[in-house]
Amino acid sequence: MSEDSIERARSATAVDNDEDAEQEGLPDPRGREAKGPKMSPFGERDDMGSYIHRFERYAVLRRWKREDWAVYLAALLKGRALDVYARLAPSQASDYDVLKQALLRRYALTEQEYKQKFYKSKPEKGESPQQFIVRLEDYFLRWVELAKVDQTFDGIKKLLVKERYLATCPKTLELFLRERAVTSLEELGKIAKQYEDAHGKIDVSWKERKHSPLRKQTKMKKPESKTSGSPRRDR
């Protein structure tokens, strides 16, 4: 994609507070192609995941053609984010999904990151219950999307069962399996068995007991010697 194309898209994305100008982004009823988004550029202090989510909602609302999304998003990028786009191969520069995944990786928003956000997030100050629920839903959808599983009951089931199994594995086995990006439960079990046969099976329950905080708290304490005070003398 040429620099001229990006410049034209960047001009179309300039912030315009005038309501009449804002309407220019709407599809024309006579079939003319919609202009670019009226959005503020991405800033380094922005959350990339939230920014992309906002961009996609806006793009759907404006009914833009998906093949135009990459150049529209590129026109909104600055700094490190723009570098990501610039380093894409020419054949990938117009592919929105490729650009999106590259940006998420650059800002460390991986499958595991979204999973942790989903499980560990808490309501922020001033955030309503409805807003928090929407944020959790977004984290979950991003997690599922990056996990590359079918967004069906069976696909979600496989993802959750896989994650529950990996949570019970020793760290070395968990990393070994995650590096292989296995999605099939049958294949996951097969590879895990091969690993155990080659490296020996670790008693996870014993390992967990060994490092349990409760175990440390219940260790036998040495009896304290009573050294305070001087010994009484018999009269």
Residues 90 and 102 in one domain: yes
Mean pLDDT, rounded, for 65-83: 90
For residue 216, count other CB atoms closer than 10 A to its CB: 9
Helical segments of 75-220, H only: 79-86, 96-106, 111-120, 129-147, 153-168, 171-179, 185-199, 204-210, 213-217
Is 131 a domain residue?
yes
Q: Which of 91, 123, 148 is the last residue before a domain boundary? A: 148
Count how many domains the chain has: 3
Here the tokens at position 43 are 């800033």
> Is pLDDT of 181 > 90?
no
Is 186 a domain residue?
yes
Category of 27 on φ-ψ map: left (φ > 0), alpha (ψ -120 to 50) or beta: beta
Which structural domain range is residue 186 located in? 152-216
Is 225 a domain residue?
no
Residues 188 and 93 in one domain: no
Mean pLDDT, rounded, for 116-122: 88
Residues 1 and 84 in one domain: yes
Residues 118 and 86 in one domain: no
pTM for the model: 0.50
Q: Which residue has the higher pLDDT, 34 or 171?
A: 171
For residue 26, count other CB atoms closer than 10 A to its CB: 12
- Provide the pLDDT for residue 78: 87
**Planar angle of CA 171, 172, 178, nearest 5 degrees:** 85
